[in-house]
Amino acid sequence: MLQKKILVPVGSSGRDLSSVHYALALAERLRAQVYILRHDAVEITPHSLGNLLDEALRDLINSARQAGLSVSHHIAHRELKEEIVDLVKDEGIDVVVFGADNGACEHLMLQIKDLVPSQIIHVREKDHISYL
């Protein structure tokens, strides 16, 4: 049996970390590999939200790796939709987990839903999850 693969696109909102937490918990149960895709357009200055998000993301990745999970961190340099579709196809991603970031995530999910064969999970609020 092939190892499952989970992709988590991360935007500039701190709410995106809920999707990373969800994906890591799912990966632990399934013994899946996690791909975190971060868009490079996030402005990072010493005291910006982007910098805090980056630090929190690094801590999550390091903790997951110490727990034995396989986690890779990718930077998207093109439009996020294109990067997601290409990564899903190139790596054979089984599940894409989106977080909540003021509607931008929902718009992106609708754009890629028919372009990828993966299951899409939308993590909105604590204990509120949608399966598409």
Question: What is the chain's mean pLDDT, rounded?
Answer: 84
Q: What percent of the chain has pLDDT over 90?
A: 52
CA torsion angle 63 33 4 110 (round to 10):
90
Structure tokens at 73: 């961190």
3-state DSSP percent of the chain in helix, strand and coil, to 5: 40, 25, 35
Tell me, yes or no, if the pTM score tops 0.75. Answer: yes
Give pLDDT, residue 13.
58
Tokens 């805090």 belong to: 52
Q: Each residue of 77-91: pLDDT tens digit?
A: 889 899 999 999 999
Give pLDDT, residue 114.
93
Summarize the confidence of residues 26-42 as an average pLDDT. 88
Q: What percent of the chain has pLDDT over 70?
A: 79
Q: Are residues 116 and 85 in contact, defined by beta-carbon separation less than 8 angstroms?
A: yes
Looking at per-residue pLDDT, the higher value among 45 and 101 belongs to 101
